[in-house]
Amino acid sequence: MISTLEDYRAFYAEEIRAVAGLRSEVLVHAFATVPRERFLGPGPWKIASLGMNMSQTVRYLATADADPRRVYHNVLISLDESRQLNNGQPSALAAWLDALCLKQGERFVHIGAGVGYYTAIAAEAVGPGGSVLAIEVEPELASRARRNLQPWKNVEVVSGDGSRYDPGPADAIFVNAGVTHPAALWLDRLKPGGRLLYPLTFEAGGAGGKGCMILVKRDGERALVGIHADCLAPLRRRNGAKAASARTANPPRVALSPELEAKATRAREAEAQGAAYVCGCDYETIVRRGAHCT
């Protein structure tokens, strides 16, 4: 019988493993041990629902009480309902972290860290011998993340623009905010064999966008790029103005090939029809570092 908080966390971790298809046992253990309620603020909490149509306005339903067992489900939980700012879908974030193949002792950079829950999950994955840099553009969220992450001594939290803040050499970089292209700085800071995962967003009206996750691997002087997975849920651009100025001053070093553009176009068309479009997840040698923009 599942009754204790520890039981709920363990079941939650197995639920995430099943839904996300996790390969990393370390990530499963992290989801079973990192206290999600620590990062959400006091309960009761509001659970976000996108309904049957992923483009509908988000609805929020309050939990019955402040029992922390309420947050151990594969659901988004509101951080700020007025802005539709949420602690993200666990299975989605888990799958993306799993795609980065984090290893003990590595240097991990989390851009768009929010309140730090998934930063803590990643910190468990790289272990005490590794290090984590969490970058959050909103000072209030960065302050919360800094408090929340105090038990993880291998984590540093900074408040700043993740497209311009120099993280130093990194084994893996995860961008948790919608962008129109990868910043040249992120590509330059990847160590040999380093991985970058970011959501490439398309215009969808309003403050958000929709798109797909792009996985980049540094292979010598080349960048191996592929579509990791589609994202049909809205992706928030929390730093749109700064990203726009960065596009003019610092053009991307990676250009999408016709093949990748075609996949992105088909993904947009399928989403418009209310259908899920699934791309292959294998790396493709599509671009090289220093390619001209198209």
**Residue type for 135, please?**
I
Using CB atoms within 10 Å of the CB of residue 104, give its burial: 0 to 12 exposed, 13 to 18 middle, 19+ buried: exposed
Using CA atoms, how far apart are residues 71 and 8, in angstroms rounded to an integer? 9
Kindly report the backbone phi and psi dihedral angles of residue 17, in degrees, each rounded to the nearest multiple of 5, phi listed first.
-55, -45
Distance of alpha carbon 199 from its chain centroid, rounded?
A: 8
- 222-236 vs 208-219, strand pairing mode: antiparallel
Cα-based distances in Å from 140 to 9, 93, 137, 146, 179: 28, 22, 9, 10, 22
Catalytic residue flag (residue 78):
yes
Alpha-carbon gap, residue 181 to 201, rounded angstroms: 8
Give the span between the Cα atoms of 36 and 44, in whole angstroms.
14
Catalytic residue among 24, 49, 78, 131: 78
Residue 266 tokens read as 């088909």
Cis status, amide bond into 252, omega within 30 of 0: no
According to DSSP, residue 151 is labeled T
- Catalytic residue numbers read 78
